[in-house]
Amino acid sequence: MFQIITDACCDLPADLLDKYKVAYIPMFVELDGKEYTDDLGKTFDDAWFLEQLKENKHPNTSQINVGRYMEFLEPYAKKSIPVLYVGFSSGLSGSYESSLNAIKLLKEKYPDFDVTSFDTKTASLGQGMFVMEASRLQKEGKTLKETVQWLDKYKTYLRSWFTVDDLKHLVHGGRVSKAQAAIGGLLNIKPILNVDEKGRLQNVDKVHGRKKALQRMVDETVTGVGLSIVPRFYVAYSGDEKALNKVIQQLEQQYPKTPITYYPLGPTISSHTGYGCIAVFSMGSKGK
């Protein structure tokens, strides 16, 4: 048996992870000079945070450093419990690199510690999907090595499509320029984004209007979808439940028997997307 660990960027609720005995490392969000803990809804006030985003406040986030990884992992090393860490994309944060450095230091003290840090090359419920699949494989009796082999094989099959309702947070995160945001706001332009094979967020296209943006995401999702791998859609959202319901309705029209899992974007991810982000995750019929 091995322990699955993830971080707060997976956007799965704490009670769900507790149910499946998945441990998680919280993230930290700083707003107006005060630090808050993103603990997947256990204590964090999501409704309050969404109001801050609606007021166009720009929180800052920080990666998990080497010391925090060592502190979290060492109890497992001491007890010789194998660990699979399913982590946030290395293309979006330095956390994954910090996890590798922490493991290297721990192995100097505990040379027999069996631990793997898996770079999902994704975020939010894309990462959450891999956490749930790892849990499924573990329950089926797969070893840590077999589980990592499955994750490694299928991580390039993941399809991630995003849109945001306001470009200002993408400006704050360096994704678009102030000039592009100003023009986009005037023309009601909405970006279509996805995550490339290196795990980096990229602008794919832009469309006029929210309605077209949501439809485009659904169209891209169902193109080449491979539901035989993971027979489920995952949808993440930051506050706009009307848009969430629209996307779910559109997916159900084309795949009425396919389950759809949806959860709010956590504060770490929504700090960079702002209020009104919608993201759809699924598996493609082939790798990227």
Query: What would the two tokens of residue 268 be?
Result: 């770490």
Question: Residue 236's pLDDT is what?
Answer: 98
The pLDDT confidence band at residue 282, using thresholds 50, 70 and 90, is very high
Residue 157 CB-density burial (10 A; 0-12 exposed, 13-18 middle, 19+ buried): middle
Sheet containing strand 83-87, edge to edge, reads 23-25, 3-7, 83-87, 115-119
C-alpha distances in Å from residue 51, one per residue of 45, 58, 62, 231, 238? 10, 12, 21, 34, 11
User: 257-262: which pairs have CB atoms within 8 A and are 24 or more residues apart?
Assistant: 258/227, 258/231, 258/232, 258/233, 259/231, 259/232, 259/233, 260/232, 260/233, 260/234, 260/235, 261/125, 261/232, 261/233, 261/234, 261/235, 262/234, 262/235, 262/236, 262/237
17-32 pLDDT, tens per residue?
999 999 999 999 999 9
87-107 pLDDT, tens per residue?
999 999 999 999 999 999 999
Q: What percent of the chain has pLDDT over 90?
A: 84
169-220 pLDDT, tens per residue?
565 555 555 545 444 454 578 889 999 999 998 888 889 899 999 999 999 9
